[in-house]
Amino acid sequence: MKLMLMALGAAFVLAGCAAGIQSSGSPSVSYTVPRNFETVYLRVQHQANECLTGHHQYGVYAQLDSPGRQASVVVKTPVGAGEVARTELKALDARNTQVTHTVWGHSPWDARALQAMRESVLLDTTVCVVYR
């Protein structure tokens, strides 16, 4: 019985982790940055690899569409295809990029992570935690 309860509890935990970002209700921020979108893409990818993988337990999936002048960086759960963090980039012109960060909303992919993701792009350096 105890083993069955533990298995059931693990299933609930995994199901919660697999839920990830929802189409509505997940924290998100959008802004324009005065940088080339490929430069922003590399910064976002590095920040995701360094800060958002939970000791490398979560995968970072990056897609660059240079001709379409857009890119995305997604952090996915180890089980299933749930996303816990996502950044979408679109070049507005040669020097400006529209950035949209979205996170799951549960620690550590919460408003603090969202703020660190934004600071990484704005400061052009990897920021994992913002102290305020």
Q: For residue 132, what pLDDT is reported?
A: 62
| Residue found under tokens 């969202």 | 114
Q: For residue 55, what pLDDT is reported?
A: 84
Find the length of the chain: 132
Rounded distance, CA 120 to CA 89, Å? 14
Q: For residue 111, what pLDDT is reported?
A: 94
Decide which of 1.25.40, 3.30.310, 3.30.70, 3.30.450 is the CATH code for 2-123: 3.30.310
Contact 70, 89 (CB under 8 A): yes
pLDDT by residue for the chain (132 residues), tens digit each? 444 434 434 444 444 444 799 888 899 999 999 999 999 999 999 999 999 998 889 999 999 999 999 999 999 998 877 999 999 999 999 999 999 999 999 999 999 999 999 999 999 999 998 776
Q: For residue 10, what pLDDT is reported?
A: 44
Q: For residue 17, what pLDDT is reported?
A: 46
Amino acid in position 39: T
Please give the model's pTM, rounded to 2 decimal places.
0.84
Distance of CA 41 to the CA centre of its chain: 12
Dihedral of the alpha carbons of 31, 32, 38, 43, in degrees to the nearest 10? -50
